[in-house]
Structure 1
Amino acid sequence: MPDYDAIVIGGGQSGLAAAHALRCANLSTAVLEASDEPVGSWPRYYDSLTLFSPAKYSALPGLPFPGDGDRYPRRDEVVDYLRLYAKTLDADIHVNQRVETVTHDGHLYTATTDTGETFTAPRIVAATGGFGSPHIPALPGQDTFTGTIIHAGAYRNPTDRTGEDVIVVGAGNSAVQIAAELAATARVTLASRTPPKFVPQRPLGRDMHFWFTVTGLDTLPIGHRIRGPSTAPVFDAGRYRSAVANGKPRAREMFTGLAGRTALWPDGTTTEVDTIILATGYIPHLPYFSNLGALTASGRPRHRKGLSTTHNGLGYIGLEWQRSLSSASLRGVGRDAKYLVTQWNRQASVRTA
């Protein structure tokens, strides 16, 4: 007999949303979380991180985000909210259980953790999301660089970079937020292949997420994705556009090489650099599936809208563009989790018909 009807790997926003959907379907559920509490990666993000979606658009199913719904929550507020949400779930949440391997015998999945414990179920959800493995691209001349290179996931606050020459690589929200914060106490360059694209945070007096909702853009199916620049636009009330316009940080086209403590730019000039911060995103973190045959050669999941195309009863929550624009966000993971469980129920109905 299986231990549970479903296992969820990861206790962050995606895993908690998955557990909620599974319990709503009356499926006994275990959540396996590697850290000591079910709050995902949020405590490890930089100190000043602020959501670009208001609180009322940043909640998981069944529990509104506390406080003023029009405010933009900070990192620690999100952590507190996830702690509260986890307490509302009628699921077994096992902390300090890092899943190392998952096997499948054709009927049951067995998840084995670093403590040696095993958990079995006919369904399993990978909800470690897209923020467990930083994407660290190779930089031209990186082998000769004598300064410091870190990913944005390792950045906390500007204290250690005071007075430095810093390059932040990227053009998305995190890159611009970090660069603008650092520019108060360091000499900062924002380097990217395409310049940051700023869009109004509150067009016509309403937050952009209001317009996403009323127009249906937020839930537009993946098949209708509007192709464009790979970097998401920066939602801005004017602060960041002004900062870049004033050279704090200075925006430049991506450097062409590194040598020692020097960066070479496309116009032939060079500048000194002490630290490079890579705000270059993340890739799916699914090492426990490496021997299951569910991933591509590059480690990405084989799926359609979160449903595995290689294994019955295997699903994913929290992947970017899994089903829509909002799939990897607090406001989107609940919709994707409900879709996944609904599809499983339909498949089960067909098999028993």
Structure 2
Amino acid sequence: MGTAPPVLVLGAGPAGLATAAELLARAVPVTVLERGDRPGAAWTGRYDALRFNTSRRRSALPGAPFPRAYGQFPTRDQYVAYLQRYAADHGVPVETGVEVARVRPDDDGGWRVSTSAGDRPARHVVVATGALNRPKLPSWAVGSTFRGEVLHSSAYRSPAPFAGRTVVVAGAGTSGMEIAHQLVAGGAARVLLAVRTPPNILLRELHGVPGDLPVPLLLRLPDPLVDRLLFALQRRTVGDLSAYGLPRPTEGAMAAIRARGVTPAVVDQVVLDEIRAGAIECVPAVVGLDGADVVLAGGRREPADAVIAATGYRTGLEELVGGLGVLDEHGMPRDGAGRELAPGLRFVGYVHRPGLTGYVGKIARRVAREIAAGS
């Protein structure tokens, strides 16, 4: 291995930075490779008005609380600044502008990482490039005859370009609902929210209290019990939106997380008010695009100027580690909580749960402890 660091961490988001910081605290040399131009670069590409769904107390990395001035729910720009400060305070060595193409076993028993800056050997590789790495577009969004604009939510920044236009937002998760609200506030002529699967909806804040306050307790309870409790909470705080085109969910929040990795839509009260007022029109799922129209399930057609597909992401790990037997049928690591899936190869942050940005810090501490013990 020569002078190569024992550990390469791929990705300078919260999972990668926390893992590197915990390794350095145990005197294990580490280098972080980041394709962007700074730590936390992936977050700079999120939409301008993004706020956390979880409170700052649940979202901070170990030993690095958010400033109180950030308020209960940090913004995109605050979080980017937080990650950059975290990297600087912990002396994390981050090489920016390095694109990782492939991870493969090396002849000496370690790993060789192919990058835009050449091959890099390491005894341990920690992959922390994030589950939301590659935009996922449905088939109807590709190669259609639609005369309007089609974009993935990852390309959306602000409502300004859509003022005075009719916009269909496909996908009723957190991002889809928040974007729909921003479009209304930004002066879009008409906003339609296309719903395929009715989401579980939770409020970001209840009477001034963060909605994630009971999460640590809920995660200790059996999933069926949590689903029943959250159904009851939704009945009291969200109510029945069926008359407005948004049926009640038939699948519990925890069941959806476990089965499909789909978390509840976390929104502010104003979003529900806009749905009830008709400012956000809930319609059936998009099934096609044709000329000037968006085709909805059941054959209904709606003319639109633009479609924003809030249809999720894939990990992009198939290109990176495909063929190593470490991924499941969905392209997720068989263990995303830092346990070795091959000698010296780990994945951190590929779990579906509330407060992930804070939880990855706990995973990072355990991973660093295990690597240090074997070094």
Among candidates 256, 279, 283, match of residue 314 of structure 2:
283
State the shift of 1:268 in Å: 4.3
AA partner of residue 265 (structure 2): V
Give the aligned partner of residue 89 of structure 1.
90
Give me the whole-angstrom Cα distance separating, in 1, the residues matched to 2:354 and 2:297: 35
State the shift of 1:102 in Å: 2.1
State the shift of 1:131 in Å: 2.0
- Deviation by residue 1:316-338 (Cα, 9 ceiling, x = unmatched): 112132xxx247x2111111222
Question: Are residues 1:228 and 2:231 paired?
Answer: no
Give me the whole-angstrom Cα distance separating, in 2, the residues matched to 1:63 and 1:176: 31
State the shift of 1:142 in Å: 5.7
Aligned residue runs from structure 1 range 1-353, under 5 A: 1-2=1-2, 3-68=4-69, 70-105=71-106, 107-116=109-118, 118-139=119-140, 143-184=144-185, 185-186=187-188, 187-203=190-206, 206-213=209-216, 215-217=217-219, 226-228=254-256, 230=260, 231-266=262-297, 268-286=299-317, 287-290=319-322, 292-295=324-327, 299-303=331-335, 305-309=337-341, 311-321=342-352, 325-326=353-354, 329-344=356-371, 348=374
AA partner of residue 127 (structure 2): A
- Deviation by residue 1:252-273 (Cα, 9 ceiling, x = unmatched): 1213432111123345432101
Residues 33 and 96 of structure 1 are in contact (CA less than 8 Å); yes or no, is this contact kept in structure 2? yes
State the shift of 1:153 in Å: 0.5
Residues 13 and 40 of structure 1 are in contact (CA less than 8 Å); yes or no, is this contact kept in structure 2? no
AA partner of residue 228 (structure 1): A
Give me the whole-angstrom Cα distance separating, in 1, the residues matched to 2:218 and 2:295: 44
State the shift of 1:210 in Å: 1.5
Give me the whole-angstrom Cα distance separating, in 2, the residues matched to 1:218 and 1:49: 29
- 1:227–1:157 distance in 2 versus 1, CA, 3 Å: same
Residues 141 and 150 of structure 2 are in contact (CA less than 8 Å); yes or no, is this contact kept in structure 1? no
- Deviation by residue 1:83-134 (Cα, 9 ceiling, x = unmatched): 1011022332111111222221252112232022x33221101110112201
- 1:203–1:183 distance in 2 versus 1, CA, 3 Å: closer
Q: Which stretch of the first structure deviates more once superposed, 170-179 or 58-67? A: 58-67
State the shift of 1:292 in Å: 4.6
Residues 32 and 94 of structure 1 are in contact (CA less than 8 Å); yes or no, is this contact kept in structure 2? yes
- 1:189–1:282 distance in 2 versus 1, CA, 3 Å: same
Residues 317 and 337 of structure 1 are in contact (CA less than 8 Å); yes or no, is this contact kept in structure 2? yes
Please list every run of 5 or more consecutive structure 1 residues that lacks an aligned counterpart in the other structure: none
State the shift of 1:304 in Å: 6.2
AA partner of residue 114 (structure 2): T
State the shift of 1:296 in Å: 5.1
Residues 200 and 236 of structure 1 are in contact (CA less than 8 Å); yes or no, is this contact kept in structure 2? yes
Give me the whole-angstrom Cα distance separating, in 1, the residues matched to 2:166 and 2:77: 29
SS of the residue 1:143 aligns to? coil
**Could you say what the CA RMSD is over the residues aligned between the two structures, in angstroms?**
2.8
Residues 8 and 125 of structure 1 are in contact (CA less than 8 Å); yes or no, is this contact kept in structure 2? yes
Give me the whole-angstrom Cα distance separating, in 1, the residues matched to 2:197 and 2:174: 14
Instruction: Using the aligned pairs only, state the percent identity.
Output: 30
- 1:70–1:298 distance in 2 versus 1, CA, 3 Å: closer
AA partner of residue 110 (structure 2): L
SS of the residue 1:250 aligns to? strand
State the shift of 1:154 in Å: 0.5
AA partner of residue 122 (structure 1): R
Residues 177 and 240 of structure 1 are in contact (CA less than 8 Å); yes or no, is this contact kept in structure 2? yes
Give me the whole-angstrom Cα distance separating, in 1, the residues matched to 2:166 and 2:340: 45
- 1:266–1:135 distance in 2 versus 1, CA, 3 Å: closer
Give me the whole-angstrom Cα distance separating, in 2, the residues matched to 1:219 and 1:337: 24
Aligned length: 339
State the shift of 1:236 in Å: 3.3
State the shift of 1:205 in Å: 5.3
AA partner of residue 271 (structure 1): E
Q: Which stretch of the first structure deviates more once superposed, 336-345 or 38-47? A: 336-345
State the shift of 1:301 in Å: 2.8
- 1:45–1:326 distance in 2 versus 1, CA, 3 Å: same
